Amino acid sequence: MSKQISKEEKLEELHPMDKWLRSERMPHIWCPGCGIGPTLYAWARALDRVGIDKDKVVYVSGIGCSGRGSGYLNVDGFHTTHGRAIPFAIGIKLAKPELCVNVISGDGDLFSIGGNHFIHACRRNDDLLVICINNFIYGMTGGQLAPTTPRGQYATTAPYGNIEHPFNTPHVADASGAVYVARWTSIHVRRLEKSIAEALTMKGFRYIEVLSPCPVNYGRRNKLPEPDDIAEWFRQSSVVRNGADTSEVQIEKDKPLILGNFVKRVEKLTYYEGLKKLEERVRGAR
Amino acid sequence: MGKTVLTGKHFWYGNIAIAEGAIAAGCRFFAGYPITPASEIAEHISRRFPQIGGIFVQFEDELASMAAILGASWTGVKSMTSTSGPGFSLMQENIGLGAMMEVPTVIVNTQRGGPSTGLPTLTGQGDVMQAKWGSHGQYEIIALSPDSPQEAFDLTIRCFNLAEKYRVPVILLASETIAHSAGKVVVPPEDEIELVYRKKPKVPPEEYLPYRPDEDLVPPMACAGEGYTITTTGLTHNEKGYPDTTAEAQEKLARRLNDKIRKHRKDIVDVKEENMEDAKIAVVSYGQVSRPAKRAVKMAREEGIKAGSIKLITIWPFAEHVIHKWAKQVEYFIVPELNYGQIYLEVKREADGNAQTILIPRMGGTLFTPREIYQEIKKVNKK
């Protein structure tokens, strides 16, 4: 064979995240200043830190801006229907328990249309890591009111200000029985990564809320129009209080944002563990 | 371990036959929500699965149940849910996702009277069109309808086989009558039950495209955790599984999703024809209505009337070629249904003016008596 220079000469890895990214899908659809990217970066770093086999990682998402993430990461990705990421993920995890199943979706997806699935998965203690990227708004559809929009803030369907009472999502998770509950923001990338890594080593329903800027559809209508305005709000208002009582971490306009690792329960059986014990009992009795 | 296939003769309710059919077909994941008249399927499976190592979950609703069986199927496990009308309505969302992502799974709908809460404890056939197009968008699906506990057992197995073969959600369109009728069910030896499994990729991960179809229009299916790094979405997508929301991609994908069923119509469609050789009047029926229909044809034959019976075992895709063929011979199709004319319109369309189509409607609640159908045959015969 005559000497030829291969066209597919091996490329140097250019970015530490190349392993985790479907680079051919770049550029992504997210806006400048969005917090989804840093959140996924923290998640992928945490997977590396814990040393989880990439082929065993499953990423399930619902609908909305963050729903698109499952198609950008280089793992088995499932972009499902609006609100149904959690039950879809439960199906995967129960049917193949050796997989590391993650749900990463938005606040509207997980707490409005998917709210019922969220609380019941907490209650059953399904073995999932659920990360809610909370940007306080429906970003993809153009800035409508979310179940997390703080009172008095503006949305395209709340043009005179929000009159509703938003969810305090860590408290919802805690009250519903999640075994791990934390809140960080997308600018606290290192602490978020550590928190995700801790959650990845646990079993059961683990919940991390990540406050995330949406400059285009939240910031613009709420006097935070520049790409880094919301990040600056997070920086100035954040107070880390690990172990805080989740009933006291409600997000309110002009109040401190309480962040931290709030809840860690170790004794609660997962649904799958309960099922396996039941199987033993049933078979033993025969 | 309990026995998986209960080979032998049984006296089972339809719902039990469905549950045992699923187990015999290899179903090991069940997700559902209680609803009359389907609950006995979930109850039976919740008792049987711990014996044989299946996963049973009673979810918070039908939305979750349907999503979960799709997720489970993506690991290579055969999955199922069962419900009735109101729950079936809630499942439509993810039946559409199942069609789009091409997920083999089985949905049992033991129909009751509707609309809305309707007749929880009484029978109906009002969900026939919903089974076809209950979810939004243009898609094709498979639905089979049993007329007895035995057929409920047999067709449940066939539902799984068709789901695996064509990578599509398949619906068993049963009904309260079948669910709560007891009858003889013969379960064959395990090695005599023919089972189909989805095609797996024959190429290594770097060459695999999750939505590149084979010649039969069905793409081989790699599952989660197998190292193929699949990505899938409910958005219109290309062969890589990446979102591609263009008219071109839509034309290619949506057309194939429909064609993979339509072009295999003759493989999927199963009908049972009786007394059709010289028939001038054909009673077209399906599900539990087939039983009084068959009896009515017998009564007519005893009177010397040239009546025959076409029982549709496959409801969707519709047996177009069968109706088309017989329309050239018969003068009348009589369609008794427990609704106000759903399959009737399909028959009429395929008869295409070559034969007259007559509907015997009933809104549900009770089944026809053979005499009611027989009288219609007689009336038509006098014309």
CATH code at position A164: 3.40.50.970
Q: Which residues does A99 contact at the CB level (< 8 Å), separation at least 6?
A: A56, A57, A58, A92, A93, B75, B224, B225
Where do we find the tokens 């890589």? B240
Residues 313-372 of B with CB under 8 A from A: none
Residues 50-69 of A with CB under 8 A from B: 54-56, 58, 60, 68
Share of chain B above pLDDT 90, in %: 99
Q: Distances in Å between the alpha carbon of B9 and those of A196, A252, B40, B49, B335?
A: 55, 67, 20, 21, 33
A90 touches chain B (CB under 8 A): yes
pLDDT for res A13: 58
Tally the C-alpha atoms within 13 A of residue A182's C-alpha that lie toward its C-beta.
Answer: 27
pLDDT for res A4: 56
The answer to whether position A6 is within a domain reads no
- The answer to whether A79 and A58 are in contact (CB under 8 A) is no
Mutant choice from B30, B231, B238 vs A, greatest count of A C-beta within 10 A: B231
Question: Does the pLDDT of residue A3 top 60, yes or no?
Answer: no
A95 touches chain B (CB under 8 A): yes
Residues of each domain in chain B carrying CATH 3.40.50.970: 8-192
Instruction: Report d(CA B323, CA B333) in Å as an integer.
Output: 9
Instruction: Report d(CA B271, CA B314) in Å as an integer.
Output: 7
Question: Does the pLDDT of residue A1 top 50, yes or no?
Answer: no
Q: Which amino acid is at B257?
A: L
Which architecture does CATH list for B8-192? Answer: 3-Layer(aba) Sandwich (3.40)
Q: Which domain holds residue A147?
A: 28-284
Q: How many domains does chain A have?
A: 1
Residue B236 phi/psi, 5° resolution?
A: -55, 130
CA distance A180 to chain B (A): 22
Supply the ipTM of this predicted assembly.
0.97
B2 touches chain A (CB under 8 A): yes
Instruction: Report d(CA A250, CA A215) in Å as an integer.
Output: 21
For chain A, the average pLDDT equals 94
The answer to whether position A14 is within a domain reads no
CA distance B52 to chain A (A): 9
Instruction: Report d(CA B285, CA B98) in Å as an integer.
Output: 28
Nearest Cα residue to A188 out of A68, A26, A6, A41: A41
Contact B51 A282 (CB under 8 A): yes
Query: Looking at chain B, which residue has its C-alpha nearest residue A98?
Result: B225
pLDDT for res B20: 98
B52 touches chain A (CB under 8 A): no
Radius of gyration of chain A (CA): 20
Residues of each domain in chain B carrying CATH 3.40.50.920: 272-382
SS3 content of chain A, % helix, strand, coil (to 5): 35, 20, 45
pLDDT for res B155: 98
Residues 204-263 of B with CB under 8 A from A: 224-235, 241-243
pLDDT for res A12: 63
- The answer to whether A79 and A61 are in contact (CB under 8 A) is yes
Query: Looking at chain B, which residue has its C-alpha nearest residue A124?
Result: B59
CA distance B187 to chain A (A): 23
The answer to whether position A66 is within a domain reads yes
Copy the structure tokens of residue B134: 């209950």
Mean pLDDT by 10 residues, chain B (383 residues): 89 98 98 98 98 97 98 98 98 98 98 97 98 98 98 98 98 97 98 98 97 98 97 98 98 98 98 98 98 98 98 98 98 98 98 97 97 98 87
A115 touches chain B (CB under 8 A): no
DSSP helix/strand/coil, A167: coil
What mean pLDDT do residues A89-117 have?
A: 98
Strand partners, A104: A131
Give pLDDT tens digits for A19-59: 999 999 999 999 999 999 999 999 999 999 999 999 999 99
The answer to whether position A230 is within a domain reads yes
Copy the structure tokens of residue A230: 């919301």
Residues 66-95 of B with CB under 8 A from A: 67-77, 79, 93-94
Q: Which residues does A6 contact at the CB level (< 8 Å), separation at least 6?
A: none
Chain A environment of B27 (Cβ under 8 Å): none
The answer to whether position A21 is within a domain reads no
Query: Looking at chain B, which residue has its C-alpha nearest residue A25?
Result: B242
Share of chain A above pLDDT 90, in %: 90
Q: B272-382: which CATH number, 3.40.50.10860, 3.20.20.100, 3.40.50.920, 3.40.50.1100? A: 3.40.50.920
The answer to whether position A169 is within a domain reads yes
Mutant choice from A22, A29, A54, A78 vs B, greatest count of B C-beta within 10 A: A78
The answer to whether position A12 is within a domain reads no
Give pLDDT tens digits for A185-204: 999 999 999 999 999 999 99
